[in-house]
A and B are shown apart, each in its own frame.
Chain A
């Protein structure tokens, strides 16, 4: 793992976390349930994870969410851990997607979205509420409703904004072998 830690990955984690904090702080639309917003930070996390891999994705989620929480309303650890986890899942989902070479067609879009919806469900409606109960011993039905809403909202925002971001990014890259000799 150490070997794959290039300078670019380190910088991507740092800048990614910074952008995650700002997006999470300023570019959100609240849904009225605590801890649950329509976020632009998660679609961005998806883009970064697909480009830079699961390790970078996980750390951007973890570091970004920690800084965001501590500088706004105190750390809510169960959700911070879940943010890291979703970054890893986005990264794994994007393993076979070669976004750097500008490949992001219909097949990749469908593939990524199936993964991200499954990931969001597992993490926000499974892991996060479970940790809420284990760490904070909050009422079970409260945390699971909260988690379910979060997973739906996040799947939708990643599905729409995230997919658009990746399409836009792929367009800025030059595909491999795109030069044709005449």
Chain B
């Protein structure tokens, strides 16, 4: 269990690393929003190619993300299968046409429309997941908090996010330490134990973790109050970066792509690109 880690920032010197956090955040939000609502296959394909290219540029290595990618693949496949199990002809409903490929068993037929819908879902995953990975692995967490403030989120909330990112590794460390301590006392927490024992074991870790975290809140609050945090309306950030030319360039490029996506809604007369009519 302990070798499963969370993703985090890995310093490097590529173009994507040098982009300011705020620019990356804006680009990420715009692109993932348009990919999320849009179902134009051509657009999704273009964005997927774009994100894969960016991924190559970012020089992220496979071993840094392999554990997460495996997780993502399992999750995505599971989701595709559930969609099919519940609505084997959902594509037919959406595209208003029915091209049968195989009669199948009972209601579980295979139609071109359903396959096409599935392809759209897969493209959505390939378009957004590399972007999310790039964003997480190339953005310094402290700069990220400054970026949030820069795009208009109140600095107190931005600071909460900064605290969360700062303390995740610490909390993870405590979680494992408490886990080892409980194992030393003979509590079963591994997957070998029975479900009931594992629930008990999990409770044995979760309780101390939560109560030590509540103590941690008091300690940090005292430290921040002593330094008079929050007395002013504004706040400057050590990690903040000024926008450079490349940042404006990146934002304009992504804004252009987003508008194309919105324009396609008008062209297709809705969210779906329909090749079946």
Cβ of A13 and Cβ of B160 under 8 Å apart?
yes
Q: Which single residue of chain A is at the shortest CB-CB distance from B207? A: A168
In the complex, whether B252 has a CB less than 8 A from a CB of chain A is no
Which of chain B's residues have a CB closer than 8 A to the CB of A118? none
Q: Say yes or no: is A141 at the interface (Cβ < 8 Å to chain B).
A: yes
Give the distance in Å from the alpha carbon of A71 to the alpha carbon of B71 in the complex. 11
Minimum CB–CB distance from A39 to chain B (whole Å) comes to: 11
A18 within 8 A of B: yes
Q: How far is the CA of A73 from the CA of B74 in the complex (A)?
A: 10
Question: Cα distance A150–B220 when bound, in Å?
Answer: 34
**Residue total for B at the interface (Cβ-Cβ under 8 A):** 68
- Which chain B residues lie closer than 8 Å to A5 at the CB level? 156, 230
Residue B165 lies at the interface, judged by CB distance under 8 Å to chain A: yes
With beta carbons under 8 angstroms apart, the residue of B1, B36, B163 that contacts A15 is: B163
Separation of A161 and B99 alpha carbons in the complex (Å): 50
Q: How far is the CB of A134 from chain B (nearest CB, A)?
A: 9
Number of interface residues of A (CB under 8 A): 53
- A22 and B171 contact, CB distance less than 8 A: yes
What CA separation (Å) do A169 and B207 show in the bound complex? Answer: 10
A22 to B161, Cβ gap below 8 A? Answer: no
Contact of B167 among A7, A14, A72 (CB under 8 A): A14
Q: Which residues of B lie under 8 Å from residue A114 when comparing CB positions? A: none
Taking a contact as CB atoms under 8 Å apart, the answer to whether B136 and A17 are in contact is no
* CB of B46 within 8 Å of the partner chain: no
In terms of DSSP, what is the predominant structure of the interface of chain B? Answer: helix
Interface stretch (choices A24-32, A90-98, A101-109): A24-32
Q: Which of B54-62, B79-87, B243-251 contacts A (4 or more CB under 8 A)?
A: B79-87
Residues 4-15 of A, flagged 1 when their CB comes within 8 A of B and 0 if not, give 011110111111
A14 touches B202 (CB 8 A): no
A180 contacts the other chain (CB 8 A) = no
Q: Is B157 an interface residue (CB 8 A)?
A: yes
Closest to A172 in B: B211
Q: Which of A27, A63, A136 has the most CB of B within 10 A?
A: A27
Which among A23, A33, A63, A137 is the interface contact of B160 at CB below 8 angstroms?
A: A63
Are A75 and B32 interface neighbours, CB within 8 A? yes
Chain A residues near B6: list those with CB within 8 A: 21, 25, 71-72
Whether A26 and B175, one on each chain, are in contact in the complex, defined by CB atoms closer than 8 angstroms, is yes
Can you name 6 A-B pairs with beta carbons within 8 Å?
Answer: A10-B163, A15-B213, A16-B213, A18-B168, A21-B168, A74-B72
The 9 nearest A-B residue pairs measured at CB: A14-B163, A139-B87, A142-B86, A17-B164, A13-B160, A18-B167, A14-B160, A34-B78, A71-B7
